[in-house]
Amino acid sequence: MRTSIATVSLSGSLTEKLTAAARAGFDGVEIFENDLLASPLTPEEVRDRCADLGLTIDLYQPMRDVEAAPAEEFARTLRRARHKFALMRRLGADTVLVCSSVSPLAVDDDALAAGQLARLADLAQDFGIRVAYEALAWGRHVSTYDHAWRIVEAAGHPALGTCLDSFHILSRGSDPRGIERIPGEKIFFLQLADAPRLAMDVLQWSRHHRCFPGQGGFDVAGLVRHVLRAGYDGPLSLEVFNDVYRQSDAGATAVDAQRSLRLLQEQAGLTTPPAPVVPTGVAFAELVTPDAEPLAALLGALGFARTARHRGKPVDLWEQGEARILVNTTTAGRRESTRLAAVGLESPDPAGAARRAEALLAPVLPRRRAPQDVPLEAVAAPDGTELFFCATGRAALPDWRADFPAAGHRTPRGTGVRRIDHLSLTQPWHHFDEAALFHRSVLGLRAQESVDVADPYGLLRSRAVTNADGGVRIVLTVGPAPADDTAHAQHIALATDDVVAAARRFRAAGGRLLPIPANYHDDLAARYEFADGELETYRELGIFYDRDADGGVFRHCYTHTVGRVFFELVQREGGYRGYGAPNAPVRLAAQHAARGFTGG
């Protein structure tokens, strides 16, 4: 179906918004009146600009406080409408949005509302314009879609139809099945927005917290299915008021928006893009560092061995068990922080994974970096992290390790690390919702609930995306601003069957564990019963402890930080599926306190 987006959903000038929408692949736009009023372009210039960009103007909005008004008030409305309809002719827009009145002057009289809307539609018809009447969730007398439809039906005017808005319908908890009773040709427009489930005033909820479908808690795809069954064939249009999108780059937001509609169309059965190929494990994590020494010391103490070197680039492979870390020193000598730059994901079908990614607008990266390199499918995540689709050790497919001839290094000393348990990727604040949708839609991972964690200097939001068996776990976080390396740290958690033994071996090899305040372990003693000496061991090593509702247990501790990166040793037992979130505020405070303790 055709896709459209309201200009209010994007930041910038009207010209910037139109350009961003067109570049992201939208077919049309809703022009928000304030965007036009603030634009130096004449309506004709806006029309031409849209035409040049290949965009249609699908809606002009909004016209407020029209219906069920006192006679003299309604006369003023018709005068206003005449001006606006003339303007719409100049713009080349043929549908106007009228939202249900919030005026204190409006009366609770459906017959009067229907009569006045019919008179407005009469006038509109003279200009070749259609009126789409929408129930605002906070409308004074009309606040549900079925009520708005009853008024439209009673008016019985060919130039009057209804506009359905998923936010207004789902935020009120209305049953969307009733949409199927509306004749499709009377649904003049469909606006889509999702929102997180929040207990707050619906007007504030709508104005500040709408998000793109798939990013919140509403079943927007389910609603769309009802609208399609009703026979609607107009555009799928996004109308999202969101404080973050208002401030972030319009180009990126428009791509995020278009991706959400591609996923929605797939979910609603309208399209069949290449199916997601869910990754099964982590092949490697790649760290880029201007100075390999501090990382080499840390990895060595963690029991990793440098086993191979890339044949054409300054990239070393460090291994222990199934955990593989690449240390890339291409930025050697530069004033840049050590960071997690790329992740290799084990994929049952790397080429299929890349096709899926492309269909969902993920930037596809060149397959070969150099002529002799093993061709690897790769895409960029919204935060710039490169994701490689790998087939480690599978005969029929190219193995990335072929680029890493064994360097004859020693085998790992080992601390009992088996594999990478999870990766934590800090997102720029304006990419958080986009990142979760990206990992769900492109990689087919499941997103868990978003959690808020107190940091001494702000609030950290965190949301994990995983595959079904936990072979891939990525924790997306967004830290407080202004961001320093502590607030924007990333980490690699390493799975072990015995975190106490691993921590002891790490320390014996010269590694430094993050010191934890005694108050934390005193509190643990109050919350849980431990075997003799157990708590003292945790206290001595700085091991955190958590237990879930089903008796699953998580023990974990942290290394010092190098640049923006630190490591975590984790031991999961009894099916524990979390990440120790209750411990995160103490860990963050300890990291802030230990800033002098970072390794460079």
Nearest-approach distance from CB 568 to Mg ion, in angstroms: 5
Residue 191 in contact with Mg ion, rule: CB under 5 A: yes
Query: Of the candidates 514, 565, 574, which has an alpha carbon nearest to the alpha carbon of residue 544?
Result: 514
The residue among 15 and 448 lying less far from Mg ion, judged by its C-beta, is 448
**Residue whose CB is less far from Mg ion, 347 or 583:** 583
Q: Which is nearer to Mg ion, 319 or 568 (CB)?
A: 568
Residues 555, 480: Cα–Cα separation, whole Å: 26
Judge contact between 496 and 571, C-beta under 8 A: yes
Q: What region, left, alpha or beta, does residue 575 occupy, with left being phi > 0 and alpha being psi -120 to 50 degrees?
A: left
Window contacting Mg ion (CB under 5 A); options: 15-23, 80-88, 176-184, 566-574:
566-574
The answer to whether 452 touches 458, Cβ cutoff 8 Å, is: no
Tell me the closest approach of the beta carbon of residue 62 to Mg ion, in angstroms.
8
Site for Mg ion in 210-249 (CB under 5 A): 239
Element holding 239 (H helix, E strand): none
Burial class (CB in 10 A: 0-12, 13-18, 19+), 53: middle
* 239 vs 433, beta carbon nearer Mg ion: 239
In the bound complex, what is the minimum distance in angstroms from residue 193's beta carbon to Mg ion? 8
**Min dist. Cβ of residue 348 to Mg ion (A):** 26
Nearer to Mg ion, 170 or 361 (CB): 170
Q: What number of chain residues touch Mg ion (CB under 5 A)?
A: 6
Smallest gap from Cβ 410 to Mg ion, in A, equals 29
Residue whose beta carbon is closest to Mg ion: 165
Residue 60 or 400 having the CB closest to Mg ion: 60
Question: Contacts with Mg ion in 485-524 (CB under 5 A)?
Answer: 493
Reading phi first (left if > 0) and then psi (alpha if -120 to 50, else beta), residue 71 is in: alpha
Please return the burial class of 226, using the count of CB atoms within 10 Å of its CB with bins 0-12, 13-18 and 19+.
buried
Closest CB to Mg ion among residues 493, 502:
493
CB of 239 to Mg ion, least distance (A): 5
Choice between 64 and 504, CB closer to Mg ion: 64
Nearest CB to Mg ion, comparing residues 329 and 415:
415
Considering all CA atoms of the chain, what is the largest pairwise distance in Å, rounded to the nearest integer? 91
CB of 516 to Mg ion, least distance (A): 15
Residues in 405-424 at the binding interface with Mg ion, rule: CB under 5 A: none
Residue type, 488: H
Rounded-to-integer distance, Cα 98 and Cα 78, Å: 13
The answer to whether 359 and 274 have CB atoms below 8 angstroms apart is yes
Give the shortest CB-434-to-Mg ion separation in angstroms.
22
CB atoms within 10 A of CB 388: 21
Map the footprint of Mg ion across residues 59-118, applying CB under 5 A: none
Binding segment for Mg ion (CB under 5 A), chosen from 179-187, 405-413, 528-536, 575-583, is 575-583
Least distance to Mg ion from the beta carbon of 577, Å?
13
Region near Mg ion per CB under 5 A, out of 11-19, 137-145, 183-191, 537-545:
183-191
Whole-number Å distance between alpha carbons of 292 and 314: 10
Residue 438 in 3-state DSSP? helix
Nearer to Mg ion, 239 or 373 (CB): 239
User: At what angle are helices 518-527 and 534-541 packed, to 10 degrees?
Assistant: 160
The site map against Mg ion for 133-172 (x = CB under 5 A) is --------------------------------x-------
Rounded (5°) CA angle 19-444-254:
10
Runs of H (alpha helix) within 408-533: 432-443, 499-508, 518-527
φ/ψ of 20, rounded to 5, equals -65, -40
Smallest distance from the beta carbon of 241 to Mg ion, in angstroms? 9
Sites for Mg ion among residues 321-360 (CB under 5 A):
none
Q: Find where tokens 């306190």 sit.
A: 593
Contacting residues toward Mg ion, per CB under 5 A: 165, 191, 239, 493, 568, 579
